[in-house]
Structure 1
């Protein structure tokens, strides 16, 4: 590099750092929300199945009901972020996050009354699902609005790092807290995370809503639906891993089930940090196809694993493959609508993730009850292949024409 190029490089690096800092100031709320989601994730199935005495289907439902609440509230979160601004969306979500912690405290206190405890747990999961949709959608929209739509892929990628970083940190933390202090401690921590983050969200500078024609939500859904279906199919692997890995390990008498979630999250974050620019270089369709193929291999390894090490390798490959699926297809989905409908588009697109994760628990529990736990991972691997084929079809239909244009 010639000396004359150095003066231009320094401002470029400074600008890039400033953009990243502004993104992080928005997605930090997603991190705190998903830290709260990760904290009970590896504890709830065992608590419902072993402590409360309910069947595995109910254990899966207790996890998946959160995604039902996310599904129902996501469209409203996206539309509110477009109309009233993302700051209000995030603040409402953080308040409900604190409420979910209160319900979880009640669940732990009532553990000797299984029906009442289960009711409090379901209330906590519903509140947590509402908080997830509002905080996550608001954070992404806040980040994009603060730096411009041309950085959409970077915002979505960093939000995903915050998301799965929170889960990866929260899962083992939750196991330790539940082991030493019980479920009540998980509820107290969840309440504190929501209550303490809210003042910082109120203090942060707001992004004004964008002006322009608002498409009916059904029109937005129609435009992003093919990408959402691919996301849903590709997300089933994460759903079965997060919901059933603790019971899968327990059925084989393997220790450290939470470690697989941490490995998944660590690989997920690593791939997004190392290959985060791949979407801009190669396009969302190509990255999605490659990512889904890697995820499929990881799920097959989990299905066929005979040792904890093999299962960890499978979890690592699943996390590596799943890492770029959401932003790769998300960039293409958001590109199908105008700027002032991007919050609604993100909400509609994410709904398909919620549907997939919501169905994974009860369907996976039924499959496990009839065919044992490894069969769930085999089913998920088939879904990821179908998602890869769908991504290839979308590339043939839309990707080539947009590249030529």
Structure 2
């Protein structure tokens, strides 16, 4: 890869300028995250399964855009992918506004929301691995673990902030306000990216096809996908879960989840290099399972809030821990495709989780969604143990 000739000694500030794109993208995603399930089920009158399916369309679109994104990054550099993603995020705001104005025609409004979710998924698919690769190309591969960790802080921190802010905006201005803010943030991100230097991969002769790379990273991706079920259950259904028990401030769980997630990334930033990715993943999946069980048996909103924090702490290092190992399984020239392929599994997880957990809620009741999620994460823990033994980490 073509890296900057004079790499800065202190990479923190320039690193933030790259993962800032991740923050902007996921901030826009977070704005409607806690709002849309309630809007679809309460305002438009559709079932929880429909709400889950519409939310999950984002992750379906992201799934298909990941491969394209990896091809762009390995061939043309990450800048074009980031620019396209920011335009996509701005377009989501326009369709949110249309959905708001047609809220008294449920099927028309739902149609605009479907377009919104598809565009959001396209934006997420393009932004997913792009800032990570951009930072690695600019700052050097030795900072890979730190870059992935900081990118995750930007991602989930933005989701938490966006979700809480989105609830407040929707309360005062409806989806219209969220749409306007999405357009503005997307345009700002586009202008910021347009003025940054692009980097390209000069060693493409030994690059492999995306699907071959996907096969190499899939064992780690499957483990990641199972761990992602816990995040999906909180991000998509926690507000409905709180409404079910007549508790207040359900969106606060997302903020606490995000806060402990960020704390885990910052406080334990060196454990992956010290103990290895698989060992860290095992510990994190265990903690995440415990957090989901705390929510499952919580008798108050405060206890559920505590469980969300423990879940966030557990989930914090799963992506970078497994991601560092996944990247090492391929050649440097296929790094963009490796990160894109690895990221597919969290998209798959979040895409399946919406209708799956919504189905659990519709059939057995909302109180069973977190025991189910804990069981899925526990299976992920089993997969991690298998990887440790099979691959001798």
Return the TM-score normalized by structure 1: 0.93
CA contact (8 A) 1:45 1:59 kept: yes
Structure with the largest fraction of helix: 1
Equivalent position of 1:111 in the other structure: 103
CA contact (8 A) 1:149 1:339 kept: no
CA contact (8 A) 2:128 2:340 kept: no
- 1:123 counterpart SS class: helix
CA contact (8 A) 2:296 2:371 kept: yes
> Residue 399 of structure 1: CA displacement?
4.2
CA contact (8 A) 1:227 1:349 kept: yes
Q: Supply the distance in 1 between the matched residues of 2:387 and 2:137 (Cα, whole angstroms).
A: 28
Matched, 1:225 2:194: no
Equivalent position of 1:19 in the other structure: 11
Q: Supply the distance in 2 between the matched residues of 1:109 and 1:228 (Cα, whole angstroms).
A: 40
Equivalent position of 2:325 in the other structure: 332
2:86 to 94, 97, 105: 94
Q: Supply the distance in 1 between the matched residues of 2:325 and 2:125 (Cα, whole angstroms).
A: 21
1:163 to 147, 155, 160: 155
Equivalent position of 1:131 in the other structure: 123
Equivalent position of 1:262 in the other structure: 255
Equivalent position of 1:8 in the other structure: none
Matched, 1:58 2:50: yes
Equivalent position of 2:348 in the other structure: 355
Query: Mind listing any 5+ residue stretches in structure 1 that lack a counterpart?
Result: 1-13, 401-405
Runs ≥4 residues deviating over 6 A: none
Cα gap change, 1:196 to 1:15, in 2 (>3 Å): closer
1:143 to 123, 135, 144: 135
> Residue 86 of structure 1: CA displacement?
0.4
Aligned length: 386
Q: Supply the distance in 1 between the matched residues of 2:345 and 2:128 (Cα, whole angstroms).
A: 15
Q: Supply the distance in 2 between the matched residues of 1:175 and 1:210 (Cα, whole angstroms).
A: 45
Matched, 1:315 2:270: no
Q: Supply the distance in 2 between the matched residues of 1:79 and 1:277 (Cα, whole angstroms).
A: 31
Q: Supply the distance in 2 between the matched residues of 1:241 and 1:79 (Cα, whole angstroms).
A: 32
2:374 to 349, 374, 381: 381
> Residue 397 of structure 1: CA displacement?
2.7
> Residue 122 of structure 1: CA displacement?
0.8
